[in-house]
Amino acid sequence: MGLVRLSPLLAASGLGTLAVLLLARGLLSRIPGPNPETPPALLALQQRWALDPERRREAALLQGQTTNQGWGRGPLAAVALKQQELWQPLLRRLPNEPASADALYALAEQQPRLRDTLLRRWPAHPAALAAAVSQPGVGPALHLARYGARWPGAQARISGACRQARANQRQQLALGLAGIGALGPARACLGGLPPQPQVALLLADGKPAQLQALITAHPASAAAEQALRQLADDPSPEAGSALAGLPGAWRDHPAVRAGAALRAADGSAALAVLQRWPADPASWELQWQRARRDALAGRWQAAQQLLAAGGPRLKRTQPVALQARRRFWLGLSAAQLGQTRQAQEHWRQLLRQHPGGYYGWRAATRLGLAPNGMPAPAAAEPRWTPLNSADARVDQLWRLGQPLEAWEAWRSARRGQPPTTSAALQAEGRLREAIGDGWAGLGQQELAALRLPPGQCRLQQLIETNLYRPRQLGPLAAAARQEQVPLSLLLGVAKQESRFQSGVRSVVGAAGLLQLMPETAAELAGRPLSDAELDEPARNALLGGRYLGQLLQRWDGDPLLAVASYNAGPNAVARWLPNGRATIPELWVEAIPYPETRHYVKTVLGNTWSFAKPRRPECA
């Protein structure tokens, strides 16, 4: 009788346990996919109990558990097999996954014919580039010229193949060499052959006579368009003569008209160019240069008129970063003309749309929302963020803490083609940085911000979040504490000087995170330092912080003067001081006679403001 009564209890207990398990699995299915910040306990829970087998695989991969797991036949299975170096099963089961390129490379040691399969199937994959470098002959060299001329050892292979290549092949080899800046080897590779248009553009290297010859010889080519814009941007007399010698049709090009309007005595020609070609980059540069010239001369009404020109098309097409500059100076022009409310509205709108950077800082300062001196110390490093590459496989691998696999999948999908849009630049830049190519990676993210068109607010937020993620935080924070220099300023200088790469050397010999000259570093350290010592992040940051501290002390804490001195030297800055520094600081910056220093001051202090704390645009 007792057993009879017990059976319902056991059944109820079993049903209760089953209900709890089903409830747990249901809750797990609603949790977002795991990422590198998911707590280990939750990863273990998802690996064991998630209803979705893909979720279980993701959790296992994040924990580094590639065995004792059912991986199926998808992309994650390929990654798991690769990490276990199970090359034959990988190639047999998943030949269309990028990880199979590594299998082909490994198996080609015993089966050389597989190298041809690798180059054909995965031409831009790093494994294919490594295989091509290891092979002599014209074919592998052509492959490198097209898909990976920057790969270690590729330049020597390409140059060496020129002697055996046919004429049309030498054009391709020369294009690969010229594309990485090896102009001398590219000319030698051509060996007297007339270069094709794109090769000719690279070999011209900005020289006006060669650009003119290219335009004349290939007027219908895309290279001729690029050559013309380079000529129009060149203020030298040689470039002016080259432009004057071009056929008449070229003289009605927006870049040529903009160059002529910039040199004109008044602003009427500039307004005509802006009205006719408001969406052309040459018009945007013309607008800024003429308005800057008017502002420096105190012609505020003329500056305001130029900055307001262009109409709706300019606002729809001009990159966000340039719109921030234009809006700030519209505000400053209005303020100088006594239009206080209009000035404040310009600056408030700027802070809604582009609150970071140099112009965000100056707008906030003008509105009384920021100190005129140095911003507050930098915040902690931000959390992990998605890649948003628009490639589901790449994004999944990134989310699962597999940046190398994501990078290889990205390169393979794009067949090595360089990114052009801001979305692609930010994705590739972050991938490069994650695999150790920080110099190129951060540079691509900077370019993404500069090119970003209006109307992509979420992408703007993502770019700025990652662009101003503190790097080298340990040594820079320690230096900031010891030398009593704002951490945000050290981060701002390091980003501009070295992109946080400790082994960077400038053409004049400046070294390390903060690009110290050896003589300056020796003076700060009290003794000469070896190259290895200069490259040490902690030592370089400490000495750079010490030098910045001395400059801040010399200029009574003024960041504009201190940062200008870091680039041009304090003696040069002392000569510039009478130029209106106290009344209109922004105009003083624009009056700096060295264009490099002018750009440097704005960039470093824009970095500093953005590193101080997250400042992101407001998105609807």
State the average pLDDT over residues 431-445. 96
Residue 404's contacts (CB-CB under 8 Å, 6 or more residues apart) are 435
Q: How far apart are CA 44 and CA 37, in angstroms?
A: 13
State the average pLDDT over residues 432-443. 96
Residue 32 is predicted with a pLDDT of 77
| Whether the predicted pLDDT of 3 surpasses 60 | no
pLDDT band for position 381 (cuts 50, 70, 90): low
| Whether the predicted pLDDT of 122 surpasses 70 | yes
Could you report the per-residue pLDDT of 589-610, keeping only the tens digit for each?
Answer: 999 999 999 999 999 999 999 9
Residue 583 is predicted with a pLDDT of 79
Give alpha helix (H) positions in 379-528: 392-399, 403-414, 422-434, 438-451, 457-467, 473-483, 487-498, 518-525
Residues assigned a catalytic role: 497
State the average pLDDT over residues 444-472. 95
Average pLDDT over the chain, rounded to an integer? 91
Could you report the per-residue pLDDT of 169-204, keeping only the tens digit for each?
Answer: 999 999 999 999 999 999 999 998 999 999 999 999
Asked if residue 543 lies in contact with residue 476, where contact means CB atoms within 8 angstroms, the answer is no
Could you report the per-residue pLDDT of 207-266, keeping only the tens digit for each?
Answer: 999 999 999 999 989 999 999 999 998 888 999 899 888 887 888 899 999 999 998 888
Residue 602 is predicted with a pLDDT of 98
pLDDT band for position 499 (cuts 50, 70, 90): very high
Q: Give the phi and the psi of residue 369 in degrees, each rounded to 5.
A: -100, 0
Could you report the per-residue pLDDT of 386-413, keeping only the tens digit for each?
Answer: 999 999 999 999 999 999 999 999 999 9
Could you report the per-residue pLDDT of 264-295, keeping only the tens digit for each?
Answer: 888 899 999 999 999 999 999 999 999 999 99
| Whether the predicted pLDDT of 19 surpasses 50 | no
| Ramachandran assignment for 36, one of left (phi > 0), alpha (psi -120 to 50 degrees), beta (any other) | alpha
Residue 69 is predicted with a pLDDT of 76
pLDDT band for position 614 (cuts 50, 70, 90): confident
Give alpha helix (H) positions in 376-421: 392-399, 403-414
State the average pLDDT over residues 50-78. 89
Least confident of 182-191, 376-385, 525-534: 376-385
Q: How far apart are CA 145 and CA 162, in angstroms?
A: 11
Residue 20 is predicted with a pLDDT of 42
Residue 8 is predicted with a pLDDT of 53
| Whether the predicted pLDDT of 29 surpasses 60 | no
Cβ neighbourhood burial of 409 (10 Å; 0-12, 13-18, 19+):
buried
Residue 21 is predicted with a pLDDT of 42
State the average pLDDT over residues 367-390. 79
What is the percent of the chain where pLDDT is above 90? 83
Structure tokens at 324: 């921030």
Highest mean predicted confidence (pLDDT) among 12-21, 139-148, 376-385, 499-508: 139-148
Q: What topology is assigned to 473-500+510-612 in CATH?
A: Lysozyme (1.10.530)
Residue 244 is predicted with a pLDDT of 86
Cβ neighbourhood burial of 413 (10 Å; 0-12, 13-18, 19+):
middle
Residue 339 is predicted with a pLDDT of 98
